Amino acid sequence: MLFCRLATTLGTFDISLDKLSDGELWLAQFFRGLSDGATYASLALALVMIYKSTGFINFAQGSLALLGVYLVYVFSVEQGLPIAVAVVCAMVASALVAMFIERTFIRPFPPNNVLPLVIVTLGLLLIIDSAVGIVWQFRTRSLPSMFSDSAPIQWGIARLTWRTIGNLGAVFVVVGLLYVLMARTKIGLAFRAVSSNLESAQLMGIRVGSTLGFGWALAAAIGTLSGALVVPDLLLEPSVMLRVLIFSLAAAALGGLDSMVGAVLGGLVVGLTRNLLVTFLDLSELALATAVAVILVVLLARPTGFLGTVRRERV
C-alpha cells in the first residue's frame, strides 16, 4: 500500500484499520463523492463545451457561475421565489450576462488566436469575482437547495439523500438535453461545425460569433445550475466557485477536455477520490492538492484523458 507507506513515513496521518474496514463509512463517502462529483461534472460539462468550440479553457466560467449563484440567492432568499423557479431565472439571467460579455470582450479578438482570449478570460475572472465581492460583501450566507437532505435509503451512517439523487439526476438530464441539442438541432449542427473547423464553418455561411455567443450562454446557464447544486453543501461567499472550478477543471482534464461523457465520468472520479482521500487519509487540508495530483497522474499515463480524441487529420 503506497498510501500507507507514505503516511507512516510522514508519521502524521492517522489511518486506523477500523476506518478502512468500516463498510458503512465507505458507502457514506461513496454517496457523498457521487453527489460532489455530479456538481463538478456539470461545471466540467460547461468548460468542455467552450473548449470544444473555441480551443481554450474559459476561466471566467467559474465566475459566471458565481454570479449565477448569487442571483439564485437574490431570487430565492431576497425575493422569496420558490428555489427551483429562482434557479431557472438565475440560469436565464446568467446566460444573458454571458452573451453580453462574449459580445463585448471576446468577439473583438480573432477567434483563432487563443492566447489573448485566455488572458481576457482570466481578467474577466478577476473582475467578476471582485464585482460580486463588492456588491454582496465578503460575508458568508447559506443557500437553500432544490433537493431535501432527507434520505429515502439509509444504512447506518450511509445515507443516500434526495440531494445526491437530485444532483446526479440533474447532471444526466443536462447531458441528455445537450446531446439532443447537439445531434438533432440546427444550432447544434452549427456549434459542432464551428468546433470542428472554424474556417470551414464560416465558409458554410455559419455566423461564428453568434454561434459561440450561444455556446457561452448555454455554458453559463449550466455553470449556474452547477453552482446551485453545490453551494447548499458549502457556504455562499465570493470565492466558493473558485474551488469548485479547480475540481471541475480536474474533471474536464480527466475526461479528455473535449468529451462531454468524459467530463461526467471525470467529475464522478474526482468527487469520489476527493471524498475517499479526505476521509481515510485525513487530507482535508490537501484536498485541492490531491485533485491536482490526480490530474497529473492520469494525464501522465494517458495524455488524452479517459475519452479525449487525439487530433488526427488526413492530408
Chain positions contacting other proteins, by CB under 8 A? 186, 189-190, 192-193, 196-197, 199-208, 309, 312-315
Cβ 164 to other proteins shortest distance, Å: 35
Residue with cell 453559463: 220
b/e map 198-214, b = 16+ CB within 10 Å = beebeeeebebeebbbb
Cβ 179 to other proteins shortest distance, Å: 15
Cβ 200 to other proteins shortest distance, Å: 4
Q: Which is nearer to other proteins, 192 or 243 (CB)?
A: 192
Cβ 19 to other proteins shortest distance, Å: 46
Q: Which is nearer to other proteins, 126 or 181 (CB)?
A: 181
Q: Which is nearer to other proteins, 128 or 260 (CB)?
A: 260
Measured CA distances, 290 to 236, 252, 270, 272, 296 (Å): 23, 16, 9, 12, 10
Cβ 204 to other proteins shortest distance, Å: 5
Q: Which is nearer to other proteins, 1 or 315 (CB)?
A: 315
Q: Which is nearer to other proteins, 103 or 192 (CB)?
A: 192
Query: Do 200 and 184 meet the contact criterion of CB atoms below 8 Å apart?
Result: no
Helices (H), the chain: 2-10, 17-20, 23-54, 61-73, 83-101, 114-136, 162-184, 186-196, 198-203, 208-230, 240-255, 260-281, 287-301
